Structure 1
């Protein structure tokens, strides 16, 4: 699934103990700071091994967004501004949140919010947001 032009994709990285409250609070804070709306989110994307986490499932449901699961190879193929060797060692890709958000948007995506750690102590999630751009003639960018 590719995000519609102008819509947002939320990439989520999370540890098994991440809560819905931490995910929702983190997303709400970053969207507010960027002047973006939860209603513009059409996809929540994450690593395949994390797509059954209750907090991620609930986040997608609360946003009325599709949940997209991507494998480590798909995510590793996405160039991101903030790769992490530690994440790569744990899950096989140097990025989950940023790569998932960008991948869900397809070609021409802009990372509008880079990965942001959750506010929990310790932080158990990261959130990134990408947007699929509309071409100058009103058409969507190719995917």
Structure 2
């Protein structure tokens, strides 16, 4: 019998500026329980903030960042006009998860938990 491999997830997160790491981690864990996380991914303007980088460190994974242009080029199931106005792309969490995974389908569609938008896609082998 072949062993069942648990998929690792690229987790996209969208948040307002200044969100603390513990809030991001709590949102990810509530949305995904004990899923195996490969990386966190978000829009590049959050890379300089301590919250996303610290959240990735707490989870023991790298933080991947993408420009609004890269994110905007990804088709997503639930684009947001409000996010498009605020960030320059209609999706952060879903698009970042897809880009970081190398895939085209979400394993977990976007969910808002504690004010953090979370989505996930399985890492392609």
Tell me, yes or no, whether TM beats 0.5.
yes
Distance 1:61 1:104 in 2: 17
- In 1, the alpha carbon distance for the partners of 2:108 and 2:59 equals 17
The number of residue pairs the alignment matches comes to: 120
Matched position secondary structure for 2:79: coil
C-alpha distance in structure 2 between counterparts of 1:84 and 1:30, whole Å: 19
Indicate yes or no: 2:66 matched with 1:70.
yes
SS at match of 2:107: strand
Q: Distance in 1 between matches of 2:84 and 2:42?
A: 14
> Aligned residue for 2:21?
20
Does residue 121 of structure 2 align to residue 130 of structure 1? Answer: yes
Residue aligning to 1:137: none
| Partner SS for 1:110 | coil
CA contact (8 A) 1:110 1:132 kept: no
How far is 1:97 from its partner? 0.5
Distance apart, 1:57 and its partner CA? 0.8
Runs of 4+ in structure 1 deviating by more than 2 angstroms, as ranges, are none
Using the size of structure 2 for normalisation, the TM-score is 0.87
Structure 1 segments unaligned to the other structure (5+ residues): 134-139
Q: Compute the RMSD of aligned alpha carbons.
A: 1.7
Per-residue deviation at 1:63? 1.5
Taking the aligned partners of 1:41 and 1:52, their CA distance within structure 2 comes to 22
Deviation at 1:58, TM superposition (A): 1.0
